[in-house]
Amino acid sequence: MKYSCFSYKAAVLLAVSQNTAALSIISNEKSINRRDALIGGAATILGAPGITWAGSNPNAPVAVLGASGKTGALCVASLLRRGLPVVALTRSGEWPPKKIDLNAVGFDGDATTSNPLLTIQACDVKDAESLQANLSGSRAVIYAASASKKGGNSKEVDGDGVIAAGNACLQQNVGRYVVISSGSTTRPNSLGFKFTELAVAGIMTQKRRGEVGVRDAYSSQSGSSYTILRPGGLDEPKQNIIQGPSALEITQGDVLAGFVSRADVAEVAVELALSYAPNVKNTACELYYRNKVVPVDKGFKKYLQDGSGLDRLYGESYDELFMGIKPNYDYLVDA
């Protein structure tokens, strides 16, 4: 989210300091180092019996759209660190981007095409034919692109692009589609929505339109599946490290928020892309650190209390963190 992170982070910061709201979302409208030890077991879930989509092939690559962005680049590096094949898709066809520290996700290996696990290709999310060609044969796709001066406006990238990539995944039988969206997309009256919408004209409206478009496109599909990941305010660069699942909280409803690093967002996006657990199918969830949680709006303070009816998910591994996610969920409608 190239344009929106400052304004969204500012809104979350205000929420933390004032104990008011800064994020929101909607429901049911129909090699072991320290970092690797934090990763959990989702990467080992390679499919289910009888499934014939591309995602059932563990040798197929994961494609990352928006791979030259701050979060997309870390998604690519995270996959490479795991020893998995990845296709880095950028408008220029060049990777890695300058000034992005790939070691934030523990990758210090070969980031060039001499690495047999890495394929770098040009792909513009505004071009449906380019999406079809470049996503073919992928086991999963991570959408990490967002509006930028050179890449396109919010309607083109955060709305149309998200939907077009989802359609391409369905047409190419890609097993999993993970969209990195934003907190507050379903809460237009929240501080987070308003700040970000002003900073980049219409971006939150378009992100929500993209989410709904993907949900609707997948509503009649039984093979491929999607997950929409809604991170809180991006806390970087001072904390752009992997803190891992034990530091994270996941909720569904877009009523609570907080900060999270791009490194942890990338890790969770990758784990979701690799997971075929039935409960992460066709759903949306929020992600932020456990240490400073705030309500998205002042009317949601009750969800900070035990017994509110909102499931606040924690875990020492990603499998454990994901265990309570509900499938076929969008946001908490009656909050």
Confidence label for 58 from pLDDT (cuts 50, 70 and 90)? confident
pLDDT value, residue 283: 98
Q: How far is CA 226 from CA 40, 64, 131, 237, 243, in A?
A: 20, 14, 17, 29, 25
Confidence label for 49 from pLDDT (cuts 50, 70 and 90)? very low
Helix, strand, coil shares of the chain as percentages rounded to 5? 35, 15, 50
Q: What is the mean pLDDT of residues 215-229?
A: 93
pLDDT value, residue 307: 81
Residue length of the chain: 335
Q: Reply yes or no on whether the pLDDT at 216 is more than 50.
A: yes
**Per-residue pLDDT reduced to its tens digit, 106-119:** 999 999 999 999 99
239's tokens: 């904390």
Q: What is the mean pLDDT of residues 205-216?
A: 98
**Rounded Cα gap, residues 194 and 189, in angstroms:** 7
Confidence label for 1 from pLDDT (cuts 50, 70 and 90)? very low
Q: Reply yes or no on whether the pLDDT at 28 is more than 70.
A: no
Smallest CA-to-CA distance from 243 within 220, 225, 260, 221 is with: 260
Confidence label for 8 from pLDDT (cuts 50, 70 and 90)? low
The type of residue at 157 is V
What count of other Cβ atoms lies within 10 Å of the Cβ of residue 114?
7
Q: Reply yes or no on whether the pLDDT at 202 is more than 80.
A: yes
| Separation of CA 144 from chain center | 7
Q: Reply yes or no on whether the pLDDT at 2 is more than 70.
A: no
Is the link from the previous residue into 237 a cis peptide, with omega within 30 of 0? Answer: yes
**Per-residue pLDDT reduced to its tens digit, 284-296:** 999 999 998 999 9
pLDDT value, residue 220: 87
Between β-strands 233-234 and 259-260, what pairing exists: parallel, antiparallel or unpaired? parallel
Smallest CA-to-CA distance from 174 within 225, 107, 113, 237 is with: 225
pLDDT value, residue 237: 55
> What is the radius of gyration, based on Cα positions, of the chain?
18
**Contact call for residues 35 and 58 (beta carbons, < 8 A):** no
**Contact call for residues 171 and 133 (beta carbons, < 8 A):** no
Cα–Cα–Cα angle for 126, 2, 69, rounded to 5 degrees:
75
Residue 87: beta bridge partners? Answer: 63, 119
Q: What is the mean pLDDT of residues 305-333?
A: 94
Mean of pLDDT over the chain: 86
Q: Reply yes or no on whether the pLDDT at 46 is more than 60.
A: no
**Per-residue pLDDT reduced to its tens digit, 252-276:** 999 999 999 999 999 999 999 999 8
pLDDT value, residue 9: 52
Give the helix/strand (H/E) hosting 234.
strand 233-234
Between β-strands 283-289 and 256-257, what pairing exists: parallel, antiparallel or unpaired? unpaired
191's tokens: 């501080």
pLDDT value, residue 236: 61
Is the link from the previous residue into 96 a cis peptide, with omega within 30 of 0? Answer: yes
Q: Reply yes or no on whether the pLDDT at 66 is more than 60.
A: yes
pLDDT value, residue 33: 36
98's tokens: 């300058």
Q: What is the mean pLDDT of residues 182-196?
A: 95
